[in-house]
Amino acid sequence: MSTSSNVSKVWLSTSVRIEKYLDMEKAEDRAGIAKFLYERFTERYLVPLKEVGKGYDNGFLVMASCCLLIESLIAFREGWPSTEGLSQRAFELFFKQEDRFAVFRGHEVDFWKGVRCGILHQGETVLGWRLNFTDPNTPLLEVNEKRVNCSKFMTGLEGVLMDYRSLLERTPWNYEQWQNVRKKMATTIKACES
């Protein structure tokens, strides 16, 4: 993939520009790219939350960011150019694949509509969903109350990102996981062009 010199200088994370990513891709540097992706996800979606007070004080901000992270992560895993028209599917796949979030199985679409879409489109949860950001001792999901522990949700996502990084580091370059990363990165780089 060739890029203009202006585009090659665009930062993809705090330590990786497009040109560095392309060099890592050419070298099939699985550990380097896995580290870069972990950095990209955490610094965009999780680190800023920790800079705001304790990071868990605002459940709506936490869950909005977590929902963006889930869609972005699934786009990389699946090799999707974007999640436009696939947002619901992204949440179905995420909760199906992630054992840390097994308690949400059977509630994927309801969560997507009530939390993700509610926050994004109305600035609040809907369909009876509630966010708990004051009592860290409650479960990740209180199913009957449809109440999500924002702190545990965010911590679970940190674990998911570490697992994804580890998976990429140990997966051979020609496997589907890496093909999907490269497809998504090609789209990401193309979006940086004017």
pLDDT tens-place string over residues 100-112: 999 999 999 999 9
Coil/strand/helix, residue 161: helix
CA 102 to chain centre: 17
- 4, pLDDT greater than 90: no
Average pLDDT, integer, range 83-110: 98
Q: How far apart, in whole angstroms, are the C-alpha atoms of residue 142 and residue 58?
A: 19
Structural domain boundaries in the chain: 5-191
pLDDT tens-place string over residues 61-79: 999 999 999 999 999 999 9
Of the candidates 161, 191, 146, the residue with the CA atom closest to the CA atom of residue 74: 161
- 170, pLDDT greater than 90: yes
Q: How many CB atoms lie within 10 A of CB 104?
A: 22
Burial of 93 (0-12, 13-18, 19+ CB in 10 A): middle
Average pLDDT, integer, range 174-178: 98
The pLDDT of residue 55 is 47
Of the candidates 31, 15, 24, 19, the residue with the CA atom closest to the CA atom of residue 189: 19
